[in-house]
Structure 1
Amino acid sequence: MHIAVIGGTGLIGSQVVRDLDAAGHRAVPHSLSTGVDVITGEGLDAALTGADVVVNLTNSPTFDDASPGFFRTSMDNLVTAARKADVGHFVVLSIVGVDKVPELDYYRAKTLQEDILKAGPVPYSIVRATQFMEFIPAVLSWTADDDTVRLPRTRLQPVAAADVAATVAEVAAGTPLGGTLELAGPDAYPLDELGLITLRAEGDSRSVTTDDTAGMFAAVNGDVLTPKSGARIAPTRYTDWLARHA
């Protein structure tokens, strides 16, 4: 199977390509570095020619109010190119609970991306993942100083990027879902507790202060970023991942 992976040189994309190749498919990575621009449309027609499946793993360069414009333009261009190339399956990676946090520009933008895909003519699958384990240190840095990291009690259920990539690759090689698959790691934590676990594993002596007004995730109410019943639970535990990466 010929699978075009748009955004195929990034954290998830490079692993998706590797997993698909290992399964015997022909996965071709495309990105700005290979001459494919999802905003101008340059290189898209050539990238999708002959493809059975397109996987879109591109991301907005910002998380602010410019992100909806990125996803609208990129998805319009990709859907148009996929239709012209008679692609039979379009896969997008999204976020668990993305449509439940309209207060966040980026989450509204990702919801728009899903809606454009659903309304389009190409059979589709959406994989919604929880927050990547690899991004937790960055989340801590948003509200940190030399002594303290301030974090809300928002519940997260982080998942390893390798598990996300394996699931995206599996879905891409299968029959279009015509719907959404949710994926999460096995353990849920309040973000303040997750922060303390992370700091201690890294040998960081800073304290964690619970502050429900701190950072982007302060806008999240309840447990909407954890999966619903029936979600796929990935095997990698956060504490095991930390032990390997800290």
Structure 2
Amino acid sequence: MKIAVIGGTGLIGSQVVKKLSAAGHEAVPHSKSTGVDVLSGQGLDEAVAGADVVVNLTNSPTFDEASPAFFQTSMDNLLAAARKGGVGHFVILSIVGVDQVPELDYYRAKVLQEKILAAGPVPYSIVRATQFMDFMDAVMSWTADADTVRLPATPIQPIASGDVADAVAEVAAGTPLNGIRNIAGPDVFTLDELGRITLSHKGDHRTVVLDPTAGMFAVVKGDVLTDRNAHLAPTRYTDWLS
């Protein structure tokens, strides 16, 4: 199959391209660096021409109130190009529990992206993943100083980006789900616990302070960011750190 991977040079996209290519598919990465702009529409018709599947892994450059506009425009442009090109399957990557956190602008924007896809003209699949292990350093940096890292006790079921790429590649090569597949890492931690594990592994002597108001995930209640019914990926966080 010919598969156009939009956002194919990023963290997940580059791995998806490699995995699909290794499986014998013609996986073509597209991004701004290759002349494809999802907001202006530049290069989109050419990028999806002849493709059996489009995988959209582009992301909003911000997590704030500007993010819905990014997903509205990019999805409108991509779906128009996909319909014109006769694409038979459109795949996006989203977030487990994304529809349960309306307090976050970015999560509302991702819900909008899912709704646009589901209402669109192309058979589709949505892969929802829990939080990436790769983002833990960034999460801690939001509320850190020289001595402490403040984190809430939000439950997290982190997944390795390689496992996310495996799932996206598998779904892209399969029959459209016209629905959602949830994927998650094998273990559940509280975010503050995950912070302590991370700092200990790195030999970082800062102290993790439990703070229910700290960071973006402070507004997330209960087990929204975990999914007991998800497909579980194999990579454990401690193994990933090593």
Report the TM range for the smaller structure's normalisation: over 0.9
Q: What corresponds to 1:211 in structure 2?
A: 211
Q: What corresponds to 1:149 in structure 2?
A: 149
Secondary structure of the residue aligned to 2:81 is helix
Q: What corresponds to 2:15 in structure 1?
A: 15
TM-score, structure 2 length as denominator? 0.99
Give the drift of 1:105.
0.4
Q: Give deviations 1:59-81, integer Å, cap 9, x for gaps.
A: 00000000000000000000111
Give the drift of 1:82.
0.4
Once residues 241 and 140 of structure 2 are traced to their aligned partners in structure 1, the CA distance between those partners, rounded to angstroms, is 15
Q: What corresponds to 2:195 in structure 1?
A: 195
The one-letter amino acid paired with 1:73 is T
Secondary structure of the residue aligned to 2:217 is helix
Q: Give deviations 1:192-225, integer Å, cap 9, x for gaps.
A: 0000000000100000100000000001011111
Unpaired segments ≥5 residues, structure 1: none
Residue identity (%): 74
Q: What corresponds to 2:224 in structure 1?
A: 224
Secondary structure of the residue aligned to 2:110 is helix
Residue 83, structure 1, aligned to residue 87, structure 2: no
Q: Give deviations 1:23-81, integer Å, cap 9, x for gaps.
A: 00000000000000000000000000000000000000000000000000000000111
Once residues 192 and 228 of structure 1 are traced to their aligned partners in structure 2, the CA distance between those partners, rounded to angstroms, is 20
Q: What corresponds to 1:5 in structure 2?
A: 5
Q: What corresponds to 2:125 in structure 1?
A: 125
Q: What corresponds to 2:239 in structure 1?
A: 240
The one-letter amino acid paired with 1:54 is V
The one-letter amino acid paired with 2:19 is D
Give the drift of 1:228.
4.0
The one-letter amino acid paired with 2:234 is P
Give the drift of 1:227.
1.1
The one-letter amino acid paired with 1:70 is F
Residue 57, structure 1, aligned to residue 57, structure 2: yes
TM-score, structure 1 length as denominator? 0.98
Greater than 6 Å deviation, 4+ residue runs: none
Secondary structure of the residue aligned to 2:54 is strand
Once residues 183 and 148 of structure 2 are traced to their aligned partners in structure 1, the CA distance between those partners, rounded to angstroms, is 31
The one-letter amino acid paired with 1:184 is A
Once residues 86 and 123 of structure 1 are traced to their aligned partners in structure 2, the CA distance between those partners, rounded to angstroms, is 11
